[in-house]
Chains A and B, each alone.
Chain A
């Protein structure tokens, strides 16, 4: 599903960020733990096709994503990679349903039934017509997960998805991510420094030395 090899990246020439090789198949899960500043988010941006590394390859579903040019990479990302961030970043002018429909529109995968299904699966069907300011923090994060998953991605990348949530919501969110990734046969990578997530994912790597 996802393969990252020989990746090297540096913002400045002196500070090389060490990026581990990663290889995950269907249903595989990986937890990347590290202090802030250890390059976790950089790793995720590289895996998500948002940041081109100086060296190395990232393959998703056999496609070398950095060989794709311009809009092709954007379309590939929209269709195959689901990204969840620390903050939900729901587009405020749009309703929950429209946020999901926009993800389908940009990736060219329009299908109303999958919107309804994912909202139902995440328990936020009732919020379909709501705007973001009518959602609680936990609900908003679930909407952002729904938006990341509505296109049935091959890889789900979650950057600190639980950081701004209370214990209860944090657990729900991690469980939902795992459950949905399993259902759609996607590889799941969660990057976090949140100790609460540790017990849920067995497969772990640590970046930037011991915590």
Chain B
């Protein structure tokens, strides 16, 4: 027999009461757990995917949409820009490096992104099999794409027009898989990557289908050499110096047809918008936790009345006042610790339901069974609630007058 066992015995003697208190507290803590998990992973994901991209240049429209569409590949693009204009921007002395992207097609709901090998370097990809594209219509698949669509190196498929699924198929040329990327946890997992030329030739006029072009190697760095009027969707830019952050967006935005947006700025704006909702849910969670704490307090306080005799008996068999105090506080702590553990597990379970069936959306890269250091703080927080809820009842136990109690 020891103090923890003694307190535990008294708790299981009232299973309904104990269970209800644990459940209520667990519910509050589960909500907090879900919020912490989503926030942490979402923010990590967001900053990982935007790493190395200082500025995005695209067609005029909503700057947030531009960022979501061309960095995170969630939203639809704002439109296309002229290749010549894009080249003009890339020659600016404040620009260190540019990566062109051309969107427009999909296969099985996964976006086909026309770009160059710089994009692969940006996300520091490694290949699970095969290698990068060399010629038009050669593609590299993100790990999730290859897995879901069951494609491997050497397979061919026909892209469809549009960003989402359910659009008509292009009927001129097959894409051929030359490489599959290893899982990285970044946005490239969900993309089909190819050359700019592939996208251009798909959307080109009928006459362009001459075979020489198809056999020419594509541009692996920078822009392809072309005399024709071509378009791209966006341009990812890395600054040469911090000074660029001040001058370049203003310079680009003042041009009529182009828009520049900073991922960091737009994402913090997005979080600000979401923040109101998150605060509301958090507030609700804290109210639930407070009620749970109150419930534990009332349960302990009431049980104290029934237990004064038990406490007096404990004193006659050698328990000190301090031990009775510890006995009651331990009950509170055991209750809330269990509540925390159940709550944390419930939170992860909730999140796994939430993420289930989300393969391409914004939550697709969140995994429910990652445990964070912050969850230890949930446990500490819960234990604090337990201590506070049991403090007054424990003091009552401490002060129990044995002689008076026994002669009653």
Contact = CB atoms under 8 A, between A and B. Distances in A.
A78 B320 CA distance: 10
B196 to A, nearest CB: 75
Contacts of A151: 318
Contacts of A79: 318
B309 A106 contact: no
Contact of B318 (A91, A93, A103): A103
A82 to B, nearest CB: 9
Contacts of B320: 70-71, 74-75
A89 B309 contact: yes
B322 interface: yes
Interface stretch (B2-10, B176-184, B237-245): B2-10
A79 B316 CA distance: 10
B370 interface: no
What does DSSP make chain B's interface, helix, strand, loop or mixed?
A: helix
A105 B316 CA distance: 13
Interface of chain A: mostly helix, strand, loop or mixed: helix
A48 interface: yes
A106 B323 CA distance: 9
Interface string B336-357: 0000000000000000000000
Interface string A70-88: 1100110111000101000
Contacts of A107: 317-318
B147 interface: no
Nearest to B306: A92
A41 interface: yes
Interface residues of B, number: 24
A79 to B, nearest CB: 7
Interface string B97-138: 000000000000000000000000000000000000000000
Contacts, number: 79
Interface residues of A, number: 34
Contacts of B318: 74-75, 77-79, 103, 106-108, 151
Query: Which of B309, B313, B407 has the largest number of chain A CB atoms within 10 A?
Result: B313
B406 A106 contact: no
B363 interface: no
A87 to B, nearest CB: 9
A195 to B, nearest CB: 22
Contact of A41 (B13, B314, B316, B407): B407
Contacts of B403: 45, 50-51
Interface string B382-408: 000000000000000000001100110
A147 B1 contact: no
A59 B49 CA distance: 80
A102 interface: yes
